[in-house]
Amino acid sequence: MGCEMCAQEAFQAQRSQLVGLLVSGSLEGFESVLDWLLSWDVLSWEDYEGLSVLGQPLSHLARRLLDTVWNKGAWACEQLLAAVQEARADSQSSKLHGHWDPHSSHPVRDLRSHRPAIVRRLYSHVEGVLDRAQERGFVSPYECDEIRLPVFTSSQRARRLLDLATVKVNGLAAFLLQHVQELPVPKTPPFEDAACTKYVAKLRATVSAQSRFLSTYDGAENLCLEEIYTENVLEIRTEVGTAEPPQKSPATLGLEDLFSTRGHLNEDADTVLVVGEAGSGKSTLLQQLHLLWATGRDFQEFLFVFPFSCRQLQCIAEPLSVRTLLFEYCCWPDLGQQEVFQFLLDHPDRVLLTFDGFDEFRFRFTDRERHCSPTDPMSVQNLLFNLLQGNLLKNARKVLTSRPAAVSAFLRKYVRAELALKGFSEDGIELYLRKRHREPGVADRLIGLLRATSALHGLCHLPVFSWMVSKCHQELLLQGGGSPKTTTDMYLLILQHFLLHAAPPDSARQGLGPSLLRGRLPTLLHLGRLALWGLGMSCYVFSAPQLQAAHVDSEDVSLGFLVHAKRGAPGSTAPLEFLHITFQCFFAAFYLALSAELPASLLRHLFGGRQPGSSLLARLLSTLCVPDSRCEEASVAALLQEAEPHNLQITAAFLAGLVSREHRVLLAECQASEKALLRRQACARRCLARSLHAHFHTIPPAVPGEAKSMHAMPGFVWLIRSLYEMREERLAREAVRGLNVGHLKLTFCGVGPAECAALAFVLRHLRQPVALQLDHNSVGDVGVEQLLPCLGVCKALYLRDNNISDRGICKLIEHALHCEKLQKLALFNNKLTDGCAHSMARLLGCRRNFLALRLGNNHITAAGAQVLAQGLRANASLQFLGFWGNKFIFINIIFHDKCYGFNWVFSLVLRSLEENHLQDEGVCSLAEGLKRNSSLKVLKLSNNRVTCRGAEALLKALERNDTVLEVWLRGNTFSPEEMERLSHRDARLLL
């Protein structure tokens, strides 16, 4: 009896791993386990029916199976483990086990006892067996139709036929037992079928050809992806508003970890969502995934990988089925099309589909229309949505990329894991530039330039800007025209590069002067008109008629900003697209800034957001009016009202930069009327100020006795970016003149170094000190440097989870020593080590009004703690010192530095020592201090590897201390018996 209980306890202890094992594959694997359990009589027929309910999430069925088996005792638990092994072996072997008497007097029993072998024998012959069974009168046409539903795989159809034979008493079981014995034994596993093998080879060759060269940003040159690809920062995305413990920082992943088991939101979903801002490298990441699969280096758990672009998919007007999507729009089998497609349906777990750029899909996600037939045609949006939900090709993996703003709560319900792509790390920027420039000295000079120019360095964290720096390296290094500071500066630089490249060889190359710009102004306006029309119509791929309607000719295309789309409709001429969505936004802004036909008042639609009106009317108007200049004003207004908000924000920031004083002279030279440009600038200034004031007025009043708090939304960040692009100090000062908040919260707002520069440019004009909270962003060391100009108005700075290292914090503290208003720093979950300890100690020693320093979950050791203790001795103002999750024994440092005479220090430190690897040695030292302390009330020592020896020392100290009310010891090294004994000795021990 004792052994059985042990077996069951072990089974229960492994429950989470078993659930993961049962749901990690496809439904086919789970049903194979059921086959074996049925054949061994572990499950009754009633048990099996309860575990075969259609439509139930696989994780629910797995847990129900574990509950059923556990209730049957230790033997059943052991049999389940054996069944899992058998099912896995069956999926990898071509051998069939099991022989039965075809003339058995108990056919139902034998069908069940030999079920795994019969399912495999019947697998490829269900259709023929059904036809013969119907001819013999064993099954009705209705029953055949039910078994043949397209949602079922061949294995599932075989099982449903066996299930039917179990309940019918008309001889169907005997017929099957005899007929299945006569079926030919498959000589090879299904995935080694000749048609499948040939198709996989063709698919790999196709995907390899599409992925081998990097053409995400520039079609003018062929860059080998293998030589240029640089890893981006990829993290498990922390959901906004969840109750995740603050100590858990995002897990950083490599591309090979894309399908890891970490961070699952929904175990029953099949889709991995990768979110990232425009230019963060989402398309390139997928391209690398495709190449790794096609060349056999990774992701080989998938036999088939089908890449799709959402901007291409939305161009498909006709209804299409799953088969049409895979074969006609990706790769067509040369032979055995039906066999290959049936294999895909039968083994969806061997299939990966990728969909790039969901934010560019004009249709909004909905789960209202459900379809489960892979052969029935439907609209492209319904097909995509049902694939993502798992109604079609359930258990096939999908990877979807998108900008964050386009992801709705409805879509997240069907996401297995959500990852955030943060762009290049600082090391990544350097590595990318060295890969791009292998000639001696060039990469070193470029890297030196970036390190000396923090604004430009901050932009380069987005790969699209690193590409621009690489592309324009000669202009940046040789011409000495000053380094770009804003996004608009950078795009004007790349515009100069392309214009000079297209200019005659004997033309004077003196930078982006008025003559160079004026000479190609018609081309730039044509491109701008096309770009704006595309934004308003959610169109990013342009056909020949659309180019003609926008008056874009071959000379305009030759400038290089339009390139051939990688995948078009089969049999058609490849359409054109802009190098990147940000270039489309830039040209749209250029058109709005320089088109003589447009009044300045149109800009209110750009900065003021959408106006209420008829969406259908707006689209119809824009469609009719783009080719007709007489309706230009009405057409542009309609387009601006219909453009996607995230594209409108990028366009607005570019427009603000183009009409800035810095660039106004350049653009004015290209126009007949400078007054028109001045009117646009004045309108943009008014709209920006009005939008910011409207945003401020939405802040609720302060709670009595507390500082007024403002939780900014991403739209606020883009307004600040637009102010920064305009670079007007007076406008920034006026914009925040009416902002009276004590706490400005910008968590989960995608704030990177470029946004930090914009925030500092504006917030430094605040009249009242503010607590600035930037937790869960991508500030990094360069972003910290960008924030320094506004540090003087910050009374608190919160930078949790921002990938900050010692270098960034040392710069911050050097500046903070002279900022008397700054009293609190929160730096949880960064990359701090002992290297910043001297700076921290100096801050504590010099700033006598400093109140809180939170350093939890970093990498500070005992050596760093000893340095910090020196700063503590000179500070009497500190109220909170957080050390959660660092790996050192701080107590010994405190005592060795003879700080234990100060009760406030002791209380301050000991409240935050969870997960610090104190072990018994540290706890014994701590217990000595408890005998002298009279202020500490709660002592948190969870997860510190404490054993009974440390607990005994604490108990002795508690005998002499009546002040302590609770001692947290959860998660330490105690057996159940020890926990019970210790809790009885002193109720203050919380175990």
pLDDT of residue 929: 63
* Token couple for 494: 């790349």
How many other C-beta atoms can be found within 10 angstroms of the C-beta atom of residue 181? 15
Summarize pLDDT for 561-583 with one digit per residue, the tens.
999 887 555 555 678 999 999 99
* Token couple for 397: 């993996």
pLDDT of residue 250 exceeding 70, the answer is no
Task: Give counts: helices (H), strands (E), the chain.
Answer: 49, 21
pLDDT of residue 251 exceeding 70, the answer is no
**335 class by beta-carbon count within 10 Å (0-12 exposed, 13-18 middle, 19+ buried):** exposed
How many other C-beta atoms can be found within 10 angstroms of the C-beta atom of residue 510? 11
Residues 6 or more apart in contact with residue 563 via CB below 8 angstroms: 215, 218, 219, 220, 576, 577, 578, 579
Whole-angstrom Cα distance, residue 713 to residue 697?
A: 14
Ramachandran sector of residue 644 (left: φ over 0; alpha: ψ -120 to 50; beta: rest): beta
Determine the angle formed by the axes of helices 337-346 and 194-211, rounding to 10 degrees. Answer: 80
Whole-angstrom Cα distance, residue 723 to residue 660?
A: 10
Residues 6 or more apart in contact with residue 299 via CB below 8 angstroms: 289, 292, 293, 305, 352
Whole-angstrom Cα distance, residue 431 to residue 232?
A: 11
Residue 635, φ and ψ in degrees, nearest 5? -65, -45
Looking at the DSSP assignment, which residues form a beta bridge with residue 770? 794
Question: Does residue 271 contact residue 400 with C-beta atoms inside 8 Å?
Answer: yes
Nearest to 428 by CA among 445, 442, 447: 447
pLDDT of residue 951: 87
Confidence grade of residue 825 (pLDDT, cut at 50, 70, 90): very high
Residue 161, φ and ψ in degrees, nearest 5? -70, -40
To the nearest 5 percent, what fractions of the chain are helix, strand and coil?
Answer: 55, 10, 40
pLDDT over 90, % of the chain? 42
Q: Which of 518-522, 611-615, 711-715 comes out lowest in average pLDDT? A: 611-615
Whole-angstrom Cα distance, residue 809 to residue 840?
A: 9
For tokens 């007709």, name the residue. Answer: 628
* Token couple for 732: 């920034």
Summarize pLDDT for 652-711 with one digit per residue, the tens.
999 999 999 888 888 887 775 778 888 888 999 998 888 888 887 777 777 777 777 888
Q: Which of 129-133, 722-726, 806-810, 927-931 comes out lowest in average pLDDT? A: 927-931
Confidence grade of residue 26 (pLDDT, cut at 50, 70, 90): low
Give how far Cα 669 sits from Cα of 402, 498, 663, 799, Å: 39, 20, 10, 45
pLDDT of residue 7: 63
Residues 6 or more apart in contact with residue 964 via CB below 8 angstroms: 930, 936, 937, 938, 939, 958, 988
Nearest to 646 by CA among 276, 221, 298: 276
Once rounded to an integer, what is the mean pLDDT over residues 111-131?
88
Whole-angstrom Cα distance, residue 562 to residue 565?
A: 9
pLDDT of residue 239 exceeding 90, the answer is no
Give the end-to-end CA distance of the chain in Å, rounded to a whole number.
30
Nearest to 457 by CA among 487, 479, 426: 426
Residues 6 or more apart in contact with residue 157 via CB below 8 angstroms: 126, 147, 148
Nearest to 233 by CA among 299, 280, 297, 278: 280
pLDDT of residue 246: 42
Confidence grade of residue 822 (pLDDT, cut at 50, 70, 90): very high
pLDDT of residue 612: 40
Question: Does residue 247 contact residue 829 with C-beta atoms inside 8 Å?
Answer: yes
How many other C-beta atoms can be found within 10 angstroms of the C-beta atom of residue 991? 18
Give how far Cα 935 sits from Cα of 679, 911, 961, Å: 67, 11, 10
Summarize pLDDT for 857-891 with one digit per residue, the tens.
888 887 887 788 788 778 778 777 777 766 654 55
DSSP 810-863: HHHHHHHTT-TT--EEE--SSB--GGGHHHHHHHHHH-TT--EEE-TTS---HH
Whole-angstrom Cα distance, residue 538 to residue 534?
A: 6
Give how far Cα 663 sits from Cα of 376, 512, 718, 831, Å: 56, 11, 20, 40
Whole-angstrom Cα distance, residue 859 to residue 865?
A: 11
Once rounded to an integer, what is the mean pLDDT over residues 314-325?
94
Residue 982, φ and ψ in degrees, nearest 5? -65, -40
* Token couple for 954: 């604490």
For tokens 């515009």, name the residue. Answer: 495
pLDDT of residue 536: 93
Whole-angstrom Cα distance, residue 297 to residue 226?
A: 12
Once rounded to an integer, what is the mean pLDDT over residues 599-607?
85
For tokens 């995608």, name the residue. Answer: 750
* Token couple for 154: 């061949």
Burial 60-78 (b: 16+ CB within 10 A, else e): ebbbebbebbbebebebbb
pLDDT of residue 163 exceeding 70, the answer is yes
Nearest to 284 by CA among 218, 336, 330: 218
pLDDT of residue 910 exceeding 80, the answer is no
Helix (H) or strand (E) holding 420: strand 415-421
**The amino acid at 432:** Y
Once rounded to an integer, what is the mean pLDDT over residues 895-923?
55
Confidence grade of residue 309 (pLDDT, cut at 50, 70, 90): very high
Question: Does residue 790 contact residue 759 with C-beta atoms inside 8 Å?
Answer: yes
pLDDT of residue 243: 37
Q: Which of 252-266, 498-512, 742-756 comes out lowest in average pLDDT? A: 498-512
Distance of CA 186 to the CA centre of its chain: 43
Give how far Cα 769 sits from Cα of 334, 684, 896, Å: 70, 29, 39
Mapping DSSP to helix (H, G, I), strand (E, B) and coil, where does residue 880 land?
strand
pLDDT of residue 154: 83
Question: Does residue 192 contact residue 343 with C-beta atoms inside 8 Å?
Answer: no
pLDDT of residue 23: 76
Residue 847, φ and ψ in degrees, nearest 5? -95, 100
pLDDT of residue 630: 47
Burial 476-498 (b: 16+ CB within 10 A, else e): beeeeeebbbbbbbbbbbbbbbb
Once rounded to an integer, what is the mean pLDDT over residues 833-855?
91
pLDDT of residue 508 exceeding 60, the answer is no
pLDDT of residue 897: 44
Of 141-150, 156-165, 207-216, 319-328, where does the model show the most confidence?
Answer: 319-328
Confidence grade of residue 978 (pLDDT, cut at 50, 70, 90): confident
Average model confidence (pLDDT) for the chain?
84
pLDDT of residue 287 exceeding 70, the answer is yes
**398 class by beta-carbon count within 10 Å (0-12 exposed, 13-18 middle, 19+ buried):** buried
pLDDT of residue 912: 54
Once rounded to an integer, what is the mean pLDDT over residues 888-910?
47
Distance of CA 970 to the CA centre of its chain: 33
Mapping DSSP to helix (H, G, I), strand (E, B) and coil, where does residue 309 land?
strand
In the chain, how long is the greatest CA-to-CA distance? 100
Mapping DSSP to helix (H, G, I), strand (E, B) and coil, where does residue 396 land?
coil
